[in-house]
């Protein structure tokens, strides 16, 4: 597969059993074959996307000392600001050519999770920054919930299998700024090849070039979405849960050609995480003589902690 498959979430929500079933089979096969999907019909309105881009542009344009005031020491980069070059792909020591901001869950029901989830950080310089970030977070969280219902059906599970685990899960909306490249980057890339930690990722901002997916034939494929599409991919948590039946897909953001080094790039991935106590043990129906268990039993919270250490954030 050399192209990213495209689907429309309205097919799943249509109320027509055949259209719903066709959508389930199509996205499931797409995730098995390449692990990525371009999705229309999501809940994130065009105007709200534009509002968030305006706010993150304004934030990353702040003086460095202002941004660094929102960096939480020892917080693993889970909320607020993380400075340029501080995150690297697992297995590497060279930092990625990016800085980013994290919006997290605003708990309403599971108050006990306040002991685990860090508080969101409020940006005093920008009146609407946090409000708009929270609105986008909720729209993407709802889209991810419906997608996981479709994935549940593809796996032969109850449609609402994930609902209990993802309600007020430890999900993160990341606003990434890849600044203009001002000197030869040597081994550094905007985002080195990696797999995501979480269940699924929903990405705004893949309309420009740079994002590439490693397909099952070990070929790098450009992943470019239309303006009304989100790019969706499977993360390592779902890969573990399904015993690699839905494999996490390696992807990267390559540096632009030298004549485009002066252009900044922005992207906004929403990392759908479950609550920390969700077991990521391989589903029993995904394990047999031909498919032995590939992963040890672990809970989502501990798996996240291990990966943050590997990324150099803890």
How confident is the model over 14-26, as a mean pLDDT?
98
How confident is the model over 9-31, as a mean pLDDT?
97
Return the pLDDT at 89. 62
Return the pLDDT at 262. 77
Longest dimension (CA), the chain: 59
Return the pLDDT at 105. 95
Strand runs (DSSP E) across 124-223, as ranges? 172-178, 191-194, 200-204, 211-214, 220-222
How confident is the model over 250-267, as a mean pLDDT?
83
What digits encode the pLDDT tens for the residues 72-126?
Answer: 987 777 899 999 877 666 666 666 778 999 999 988 777 788 888 989 999 999 9
Higher pLDDT, 22 or 178: 22
Query: Could you say which of 2.60.120.200, 3.40.50.620, 2.60.40.10, 2.60.120.330 is the CATH number of the domain covering 6-310?
Result: 2.60.120.330
> Rounded CA gap, 261 and 274, in Å?
37
How confident is the model over 217-230, as a mean pLDDT?
90
- Which strands sit side by side in the sheet containing 172-178, from one edge to the other? 6-8, 36-40, 230-234, 200-204, 265-272, 172-178, 99-103, 80-82
Q: Which residues pair with 200 in a beta bridge?
A: 234, 272
Phi-psi region of 210 (alpha: psi -120 to 50; beta: other; left: phi over 0): left
Phi-psi region of 71 (alpha: psi -120 to 50; beta: other; left: phi over 0): beta
Identify the helix (H) or strand (E) that includes residue 140.
helix 129-154
**Residue 139 main-chain phi, psi, to 5 deg:** -65, -40
Return the pLDDT at 260. 78
3-state DSSP assignment of residue 243: coil
Q: Which residues pair with 177 in a beta bridge?
A: 99, 266
Q: Going by C-beta distance under 8 Å and a sequence separation of 6 or more, which residues neighbour residue 22?
A: 11
How confident is the model over 56-69, as a mean pLDDT?
96
Asked whether 40 and 8 are in contact (CB, 8 A), the reply is yes
Residue 2 reports pLDDT greater than 60: no
Instruction: For the full predicted model, state whether its pTM sits above 0.75.
Output: yes
> Rounded CA gap, 270 and 104, in Å?
10
Q: Going by C-beta distance under 8 Å and a sequence separation of 6 or more, which residues neighbour residue 234?
A: 31, 35, 200, 246, 247, 248, 249
Domain ranges of the chain: 6-310
Tokens of 103: 């919006």
Identify the helix (H) or strand (E) that includes residue 143.
helix 129-154
Q: What average pLDDT does the structure give for the chain?
A: 90
């Amino acid at each position: 597969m050399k192209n990213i498959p495209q689907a429309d979430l309205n097919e799943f929500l249509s109320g027509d059993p055949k259209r719903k079933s066709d959508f389930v089979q199509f996205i499931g096969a797409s995730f098995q074959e390449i692990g990525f999907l371009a999705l229309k019909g999501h809940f994130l309105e065009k105007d709200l996307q534009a509002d968030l881009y305006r706010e993150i542009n304004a934030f990353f344009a702040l003086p460095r000392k202002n941004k660094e005031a929102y960096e939480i020491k020892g917080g693993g980069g889970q909320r607020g600001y993380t400075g340029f070059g501080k995150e690297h792909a697992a297995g590497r020591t060279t930092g990625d050519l990016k800085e980013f901001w994290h919006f997290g869950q605003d708990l309403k029901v599971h108050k006990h999770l306040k002991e685990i989830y860090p508080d969101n950080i409020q940006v005093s310089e920008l009146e609407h920054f946090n409000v708009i970030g929270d609105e986008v977070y909720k729209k993407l969280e709802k889209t991810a919930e419906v997608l996981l219902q479709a994935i549940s059906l593809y796996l032969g599970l109850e449609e609402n299998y994930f609902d209990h685990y993802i309600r007020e899960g430890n999900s993160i909306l990341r606003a990434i700024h890849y600044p203009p490249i001002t000197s030869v980057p040597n081994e550094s890339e905007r985002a080195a090849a990696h797999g995501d930690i979480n269940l699924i990722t929903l990405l705004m901002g893949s309309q420009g070039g740079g994002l590439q997916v490693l397909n099952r034939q070990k070929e790098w494929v450009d992943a470019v979405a239309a303006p009304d599409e989100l790019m969706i991919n499977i993360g390592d948590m779902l890969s573990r849960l399904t015993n690699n039946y839905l494999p996490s897909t390696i992807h990267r953001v390559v540096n632009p050609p030298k004549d485009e080094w002066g252009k900044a790039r922005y992207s906004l991935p929403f990392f759908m995480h479950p609550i920390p106590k969700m077991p990521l043990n391989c589903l029993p129906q995904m394990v047999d003589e031909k498919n032995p268990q590939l992963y040890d039993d672990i809970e989502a919270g501990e798996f996240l902690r291990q990966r943050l250490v590997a990324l150099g954030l803890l």
